[in-house]
Structure 1
Amino acid sequence: MTSRDLTFVLGGARSGKSLHAEQLATDSALPVTYIATARASDDAEFSARIAHHRERRPAQWGLHEAGVNLAEAVARLDKPGHCLLIDCLTLWLANLLCPPDTVEAPQAGHHHAQFAALETALTHAQGKIIVVSNEIGLGVVPLGAATRLYVDELGRLNQRVAALSTQVTMMVAGLPLALKAADRA
């Protein structure tokens, strides 16, 4: 059995987390597949963000747009000697909890099954995996129930991924802070 190589990079908005994760993927010198979780929309500003990420990535990287089937994408694309960069859990959870109007609303708690499936896929991964997420629980408690649910569930998801990870880095103002370092035995 191979030892897991799972790096978790989290931080606030514009903290440099995606850029740092992309650099880690490049530094791995492995073939990279970027797993995007953003859902394209009619929002021009958000589309510009997606385009910025796309333009910044090396042309030789593969791209897979996972949507809500993130665990399935990880299981299918993972292989030894390969790097998967998942960007990001924050948007994935938003897609799970707030599907587009054209999709039937999921049953309450459906996202917990998706969390478990992702955890299983990450546990069994054979290649290098880098996961990006936002840390949004450092602010005030949101007033709306839906927003509180989102903040709470992202915090729970981040904890699950951090527990599995061999390395966890928190990005603050473009600076990486090692929260959990890989054992160098």
Structure 2
Amino acid sequence: MQASAPQHHLILGGQRSGKSRQAERLAQAWLNGAAGREVAVLATALPSDDEMQARIERHRQDRPAGFITVEEPHELGHALRQASLPERLVVVDCLTLWLTNVLMPAVHGDAGHAPGRSWEALRSELLSVLPSLPGPVVLVSNEIGWGVIPMGAVVRQFVDELGRLNQDVAQCCGHITLMAAGQPWTRAVERWA
């Protein structure tokens, strides 16, 4: 990332660790930092059942007033390119659900990713778009590789892909935060040699 490029931020943690709340705190601090700033949230969740629909609705209601919400479950790179502006911080919530939508479309009963767009193409697009965006991005993702991984090739593939995605996205960011029990641990990203 060039020195003049905006500083992106990756927030990782387990389920209910406070990731989305921390992303909203960073976004609110961005808004308070100067007049004329905006925040857009790219929400990746799909309402696959009543419980998920309730979660989505709760996230909508909990977002601070004035946040623009764009729902994009598949074409994340394209959506970031459309939403990013120098005076707008974009929150991506979250990479884990985006990966689920693409790799496990049957879970949601939808057709999966756009025709002709493989996971590799969508992932590559995201990683190439991030360094070129004019405004900062806060990306939320789960850290799921610390627990027992259930048997089954599909689950292992998902865990592996999310781990690789998180590592590669981190290389596009200036900072990374690990959330545990609502508490953030933040540091500058160490660049790969």
Aligned equivalents of 2:164 and 2:103: distance in 1?
Answer: 14
Deviation at 1:104, TM superposition (A): 6.2
Please tell me whether residue 17 in structure 1 is matched to residue 16 in structure 2. Answer: no
The answer for the alignment partner of 1:85 in structure 2 is: 91
Q: Structure 1 residues 81, 154: closer, same or farther in 2, change over 3 A?
A: same
SS at 1:27 equivalent: helix
What 5-or-longer segments of structure 1 have no aligned partner? none
Give the TM-score normalised by structure 1.
0.91
The answer for the alignment partner of 1:94 in structure 2 is: 100
Aligned equivalents of 1:119 and 1:16: distance in 2?
Answer: 25
| Letter aligned with residue 86 of structure 1 | V
Please tell me whether residue 63 in structure 1 is matched to residue 53 in structure 2. Answer: no
Deviation at 1:58, TM superposition (A): 1.9
SS at 1:15 equivalent: coil
Aligned equivalents of 2:128 and 2:59: distance in 1?
Answer: 28
Deviation at 1:101, TM superposition (A): 4.0
Deviation at 1:142, TM superposition (A): 2.1
Aligned equivalents of 1:159 and 1:181: distance in 2?
Answer: 10
Q: Structure 1 residues 142, 180: closer, same or farther in 2, change over 3 A?
A: farther
The answer for the alignment partner of 2:166 in structure 1 is: 158
Equivalent residue pairs, number: 181
Aligned equivalents of 1:90 and 1:102: distance in 2?
Answer: 17
Please tell me whether residue 34 in structure 1 is matched to residue 36 in structure 2. Answer: no
User: Aligned Cα RMSD in Å?
Assistant: 2.1
Aligned equivalents of 1:36 and 1:105: distance in 2?
Answer: 16
Deviation at 1:55, TM superposition (A): 0.6
Aligned equivalents of 1:59 and 1:28: distance in 2?
Answer: 14
Aligned equivalents of 1:104 and 1:132: distance in 2?
Answer: 21
SS at 2:57 equivalent: helix
SS at 1:164 equivalent: coil
The answer for the alignment partner of 1:147 in structure 2 is: 155
Deviation at 1:4, TM superposition (A): 2.6
Aligned equivalents of 1:73 and 1:173: distance in 2?
Answer: 31
Give the TM-score normalised by structure 2.
0.87
